[in-house]
Structure 1
Amino acid sequence: MAKVVFTAGRVSGFRCAPDKAQAFLWDVTAPGLGLRATNAGKPAYIFQSRYQDKTVRLTIGSPDVWSIEQARTKAKDLQRLIDIGKDPRDVKRANLQAKAAKQAVDATNALTVGEVWTVYLAARKPHWGERHYHDHSVLSRAGGEVAQRGTRGRKVTIDMPLAPLLAMPLRDLTTPVIESWAATQATTRPTSARLAWRLLKAFLGWCAEQAEYAPLVAGGNAAKSKKARESLGKAGIKQDALLKEQLPVWFDAVRHIQNPVTAAYLQTLLLTGARPGEVLGLRWDDINTKWRGLTIRDKVEGTRVIPLTPFIAQLLASLPKRNEWVFSSTTADAGTLTIPRNHHTAACKVAAIDGLTLHGLRRSFKSLTEWLEIPAGVVAQIMGHKPSATAEKHYTVRPLDLLRVHHEKIEAWILEQAGVSFDSAIEPGKLRVVAG
């Protein structure tokens, strides 16, 4: 092989003859260093030598990137590997694998809380109820969106409790960071922050079970901190519920709400003891007039069937059937009523009842049944609470007709205390309720 001293002119001017597939130029200074050119591409520095009686050839790189001295140094390094009994191809392969592994580790280390949070929500969504998924989505929402309502005059939304954590690397979500976050959130919105903290603990527990994320949360669940828990405090026990004496004024105020769908929704909440979202999700297909049952989409068990009591049957039969939803709306995009907290607050103000929430109506149902000495298991089954004793879980099965006996008794008593009378014998939809 002809050898020359590589110079800038010789390297830049080297070409492959048109009648050949490739051509080589070899350097005198660095043994094994060559320049290979083809008709199809640009020249490239190469290294060629013998290893275990076989020819070894590796590409070093383009002259546009490598200087002559850099190429010579690289060729000498490769020859040195052969001299000590190493195949430079194996060394190159190992280096590439190590580089790829390092890049993978670096990429994993750079994963943000938000990136993994998105994966977490997608993985867990099939196992969660709609409300539980909604909580995760809302509490991690970033602010800055233009809004006319609920912004206290700012006209833009603010970050939700988990949003400040999403941009940081997951590996940096340490106990001190979470404790500082908890202390900050507790000063402005402790209730939502407590829920966000519980969601965060479950998220980090899930990360610890995933092989790709476990190294980032090694050392235990950073959110399980006594200091963080103490900063957020304990949730107060809710006491809002209707008293027996308040039933007349509450029913009168609610029934004077201009929107009959809203009025029916609120009365249904009280008389079924269901959760606000469960009642809002009622479809016409969920009403079984033959067997007088209501199918409730339950966040605990999936669905439960409760009695369709006479007053509720007449109340629902009077509503317009605009679409699939029982409590429909002509203005909402989803076609269903949005939870009417403002309407209820206004009605309670008219009735001079302070602090009664929509969930307080569910609490009211439970409280009012105490006057009738209804079996606790019956009330729990109607409301969708989990059984609290072994006998309830495994041995007590109450069919719909047995529940109906008690539920109709509850409804009749509440309406009697409220001064509302109606004729249950008249076909639902034909009678208008009157105050007694």
Structure 2
Amino acid sequence: MPRQRLTLPRIAAFKPEKESFLWDEDMPRLAVRARGTGTKTFIFKGTLDGKEIKVTIGSTDTWTIEAAREQARLYQRQIDDGKDPQDVIREQREAEEAAKEAAQAAAAAARAEIERAQRYTLRALCDAYTAALERAGKTKSAASTRSAFKCHIDAETASTPAKDVTAHQLAALVRKVREAGKERAAGILRSYLSAAFNAAKRAPFDSALPADLIPFAIEHNPVDAIPAIAVQRGDRTLSPDELRTYLGHILRVGQADSTGPDLADMALLLALLAGGQRIAQLLRAKVSDFDEEAGTLRLWDGKGKRRTAREHVLPLAPRAVELVTSLARRTQALGGEQWLFASWKDTRMADETPGKRAAEICEAMGRESFNLRDIRRTVETMLAALGISKDTRAQLLSHGISGVQAAHYDRHEYLEEKRAALVAWENRLMAVIRGEKTPSNVVRLGQRAA
């Protein structure tokens, strides 16, 4: 069929019974391919290095004649440049597919980032860190940390992705607490936030830290830019007269209630008799930790950066043995078997209860305020006055025991030294109760706890 200029009427009239081509006069490489009443398509035919190249451009229903001519010219230019249009088309499709996949990957990454932002917030980091403390057995630290975060981190900052939290945001939180007159609370908040960020920062490299801290993607600690707030050292100690009054309230001396100390009072009393022990550690003591025959009480000191709690054995003096024995009998009478300070069967007394009772006594005394930390400081001060060495006091109160020597070489248990110190301390308390300046072994410590 001779070449003719392609027009819409000619294309419409082109209905060959078998496959045929209607070639364009304006663009010789362009033709319409048709067979009967079937679909008609624009095609391009050319030659490259003696090889015939045929490329389908598209249906005549969707392509205009001029657009088909322009596409055919493009294919011809590619051939003139030594390129196979089919290879060019394939490369374009591959590039388009790669671009599509890249766009899909970017969209997925964006969705993942949005999910991370919504999931791995500062609030979630705080929760994960306190959960890690709990799993490590540091329940009191976990409770204190959780309380600080809950009280002092506002909702907007808490919902910020942890990795995007800035030093300015955290400094504003600390400043707000400090300006409210809560300097110690501000210092504690800064310390807890720093510990949480440091844990998440080290988690990818430290197998001892929980893996659930890794997804927070913390690479730096924003708290580092915030200066630490020095905690004012306490210097409050009770005078012998104040200590005598404090003991009188614990033992309910002169009160109408003749049943003797309640459970919180027993905890405060044992803390004193045992040489100023930490209340939280006493409350975690179990009946099985008490060896009545040997007169020892085993505590577990998890304070500080210890990964596992340190065994802390107290060789109790006689009055403390009597008190712990009565506590063990009391637990058994309640039908419990576990906690020495059982409020009911195997339910342990809350950590806060003795502290609240001490605060009540302090208010009733009407003196300069004091807390359990001040009681502990008073005990150590009076132990020093009795001539108890610093090393023995450290072992007795379970503090300051660190360093290479203590951790790896000094395996002496100091049982005899601690026993002698506690006997001397009980005698000193007897003297305090009687208003004497020197210890005595004669007077018993009030009514025996029931």
Q: TM tier, shorter chain?
A: 0.5 to 0.7
Percentage of identical aligned residues: 17
- What CA distance in whole angstroms lies between the structure 1 residues aligned with 2:441 and 2:231? 44
Task: Tell me the alpha carbon deviations over residues 34-63 of structure 1, each in whole angstroms, 9 at most, x when there is no partner.
Answer: xxxxxxxxxxxxxxxxxxx9xxxxxxxxxx
Within 5 Å, which residues of 2 pair with 1:49-128? 82-87=89-94, 88-110=96-118, 111-123=120-132, 125-127=134-136
Q: Is the 8 A contact 2:428 2:440 kept in 1?
A: no
Q: Residue in 2 aligned with 1:167? A: 159
AA at the equivalent of 1:96: Q
Alpha-carbon RMSD across the aligned residues, in angstroms, is: 3.9
Q: Would the aligned equivalents of 2:200 and 2:218 in 1 still touch at CA under 8 Å?
A: yes
Match of 2:430 in 1: 415
Count of aligned pairs between the two proteins: 339
Q: Which of the numbers 249, 263, 278 marks the counterpart of 2:281?
A: 278
State the 1:313 CA deviation: 1.4
Q: Rg bigger for which structure?
A: 2
Partner of 2:208: none
Which residue of structure 2 aligns with residue 269 of structure 1? 271
CA distance in 2, matches of 1:398, 1:84: 79
Q: C-alpha separation between the residues in 2 aligned to 1:30 and 1:206?
A: 67
Q: What are the residue-to-residue correspondences of 1:347-358 with 2, within 5 Å? A: 347-358=361-372
The verdict on how the C-alpha distance between 1:134 and 1:29 changes in structure 2, with shifts beyond 3 A counting, is farther
Decide which structure has greater helix share: 2
Q: Is the alpha carbon distance of 1:206 and 1:389 closer, same or farther for their aligned partners in structure 2, counting shifts above 3 Å?
A: closer
Match of 1:236 among 211, 232, 236: 232
Residues 120, 281 of structure 1: alpha-carbon distance in 2 compared, 3 angstrom cutoff: closer
Q: 2: distance between equivalents of 1:328 and 1:369? A: 30
CA offsets, 1:195-241, max 9 Å, x none?
A: 111111122223333569689655x4211224x54xxx432221222
The 8 Å contact of residues 265 and 280 in structure 1, kept in 2 or not, is answered as: yes
How much does 1:372 deviate?
0.9
- What's the CA shift string for 1:1-41, capped at 9, x where partnerless? xxxxxxxxxxxxxxxxxxxxxxxxx997999xxxxxxxxxx
Query: Distance between the aligned counterparts of 2:388 and 2:222, measured in 1?
Result: 45
2:384 matched residue in structure 1: 370
Is the contact between residue 269 and residue 279 of structure 1 (CA under 8 Å) also seen in structure 2?
yes
1:202 aligns with 2:205: no
d(CA) in 2 for partners of 1:30, 1:115: 62
- Three-state SS of the structure 2 residue aligned to 1:223 is helix
Partner of 2:169: 177
Contiguous gaps of at least 5 residues in structure 1: 1-25, 32-52, 54-67, 70-75, 142-159
> 1:181, CA displacement in angstroms?
1.7
CA deviation after TM superposition for structure 1 residue 264, in Å: 1.8
Unaligned 5+ residue runs, structure 2? Answer: 1-37, 44-53, 55-61, 64-70, 72-85, 205-212, 304-308
CA distance in 2: counterparts of 1:180 and 1:334, whole angstroms:
41
TM-superposition CA deviations, 1:149-185 (whole Å, max 9, x none)? xxxxxxxxxxx01354312222431111122222112
- Corresponding position: 1:336 with 2:328: no
Q: Distance in 1 between matches of 2:359 and 2:298?
A: 28
- 1:38 corresponds in structure 2 to none
**Amino acid aligned to 1:282:** A
In structure 2, what is the Cα distance between the partners aligned to 1:288 and 1:120? 36
1:187 paired to 2:200? no
Q: 2:309 matched to 1:313? A: no
Out of 415, 419, 439, the residue aligned to residue 400 of structure 1 is 415
> 1:423–1:30: structure 2 CA closer, same or farther, 3 Å change rule?
farther
Structure 1 residue identity aligned to 2:178: A
Residue-by-residue CA offset, 1:338-388 (whole Å, 9 max, x unaligned): 523343233334444321212222112101102211111111111111336
Contact between 1:283 and 1:326, CA under 8 Å: does it hold in 2?
yes
Distance 2:404 2:284 in 1: 31
Partner SS state of residue 342, structure 2: coil
What is the deviation of 1:118?
2.8
Partners of 2:396 and 2:326 in 1: how far apart? 23
Match of 1:325 in 2: 339
TM score, norm. by length of structure 2: 0.64
SS in 2 for 1:340: helix
Q: 1:223 & 1:398 partners in 2: Cα distance? A: 40
Structure 1 residues 84 and 250, CA gap change in structure 2 (3 angstroms): closer
Q: CA deviation at 1:335?
A: 4.1
**What does residue 287 of structure 1 align with?**
290
Kindly indicate whether the alpha-carbon contact (under 8 Å) linking 1:161 and 1:185 is maintained by their aligned counterparts in 2: yes
Q: Give the corresponding residue for 1:62.
A: none
* DSSP 3-state at the match of 1:386: coil
Following the alignment from structure 1 to structure 2, what is the Cα–Cα distance between the partners of residues 109 and 221? 18
Whole-angstrom distance in 1 between the partners of 2:144 and 2:42: 67
Change (3 A) 1:169 1:306: same
Distance change (3 Å), C-alpha of 1:349 and 1:101: closer
AA matched with 2:225: S
Q: Corresponding residue for 2:78?
A: none
- Whole-angstrom CA distance in 1 between matches of 2:442 and 2:41: 108
